Amino acid sequence: MSKKKCKILIQGIFIIILIMTAVMIRHSNKPIKPEKRVTEQTTRLNETNKIKFEEFEQNDFTCTGLTYDKCDDSFWIADHGNNNNDQQLHPRLIEVNKDFTQTLNIIELDQIKDDEFDLQGIAYDICNDSLWMATGKFVIEINKTGKILSKISMGNYSKYKSNGIAVDKDNIWVLCYNKFLLKLNKYGDIEEKYKFNYKDQDHIYLINNNLYVTIGADYVGDNNFVFKYNLKSGIISCEYQLEDSHAIEGIVILDDTLYIANDGKFHHDIFNCSYINIYSLK
């Protein structure tokens, strides 16, 4: 073989390797469909109660987060604020009693929002009796009057958008809408980075070393799930498949009871309203 032909052959092989590498990288970055992780150990849950927002004296709104307040023994629900007649965002946090029958407090967030404010997940911080919010490019801590206590930039991870959020003493867990789960300290330093990339991953709730993650956006069917990520072992399992939760926007687990917030109003699911579904884990 001539030197010229040999050179062309080597160049061709090199191009093929580059193409194959690019395809492999693209495939590895593709989000995993949650239904592909369903096993015989996955429990299918039926709701025991459905609570519409009117039951706690609120008109239907676009909910984007749920958290439990241990001090007040209550729940906080995030209102993205885009269901208003003037087409402007008016985000709020709404506190309701544990039975979801009464509104206790409302924090208006107009005074702290800017053009990049995108209210998604919320988490209660028992250490400061405060609330943390995932807002896309930032995570923000406020007190119960709405005053900003901390504002942390997502930095290089801003493009992945902070979405789900949980607080564990001095640590903040942030689930990006794709690719990453981040562990930050309260100064904003990233202490751990985990690859976590499932299609339509959304909200998180932390119990000891287990992180529960809502995954799925099946607005008319039941391909909506709760995964469990054991942070010590690194094992990820599809724990629950949820019936009748078609637009999941928040998760809390208390005393063998699973609370799931659904934004059926904005996502036009089969119920076409926002609601809390309650499931027994016993």
- What is the C-alpha to C-alpha distance for residues 48 and 11, in angstroms, rounded to an integer? 64
- What is the C-alpha to C-alpha distance for residues 80 and 150, in angstroms, rounded to an integer? 20
- What is the C-alpha to C-alpha distance for residues 124 and 70, in angstroms, rounded to an integer? 8
pLDDT at residue 23, rounded to an integer: 42
Which tokens hold the place of 183? 């562990």
Q: What is the CA radius of gyration of the chain?
A: 21
pLDDT at residue 243, rounded to an integer: 95
- What is the C-alpha to C-alpha distance for residues 27 and 166, in angstroms, rounded to an integer? 29
The angle subtended at Cα 46 by Cα 282 and Cα 59, nearest 5°, is 110
Residue 50 has a CB neighbour count (10 Å cut-off) of 15
Residue 19 has a CB neighbour count (10 Å cut-off) of 10
Per-residue pLDDT of the chain (282 residues; tens, 9 = 90+): 565 556 666 666 666 655 554 444 444 468 999 999 999 999 999 999 999 999 998 988 999 999 999 999 999 999 998 865 557 889 999 999 999 999 999 999 999 998 889 999 999 999 999 999 999 999 999 999 999 999 999 999 999 999 999 999 999 999 998 899 999 999 999 999 999 999 999 999 999 899 999 999 999 999 999 999 999 999 999 999 999 999 999 999 999 999 999 999 888 899 989 999 999 999
pLDDT at residue 7, rounded to an integer: 60
Within 8 A by CB and 6+ apart from 28, the residues are none
Cα separations in angstroms, 201 against 33, 72, 224 = 10, 29, 10
pLDDT at residue 27, rounded to an integer: 45
Beta-bridged to residue 279, according to DSSP, are: 258
- DSSP per-residue string spanning 129-144: TEEEEE-BSEEEEE-T
Edge to edge, the sheet with strand 171-176 lists: 162-168, 171-176, 180-185, 190-195
Q: What are phi and psi of 8, to 5 degrees?
A: -65, -40
Within 8 A by CB and 6+ apart from 153, the residues are 137, 138, 188
Residue 71 has a CB neighbour count (10 Å cut-off) of 9
pLDDT at residue 103, rounded to an integer: 96
Which tokens hold the place of 157? 């991870």
51-63 pLDDT, tens digit per residue, is: 999 999 898 899 9
User: 3-class SS at 223?
Assistant: coil
pLDDT at residue 85, rounded to an integer: 57
Beta-bridged to residue 94, according to DSSP, are: 77, 106
Residue 96 has a CB neighbour count (10 Å cut-off) of 23
pLDDT at residue 268, rounded to an integer: 87
pLDDT at residue 14, rounded to an integer: 60
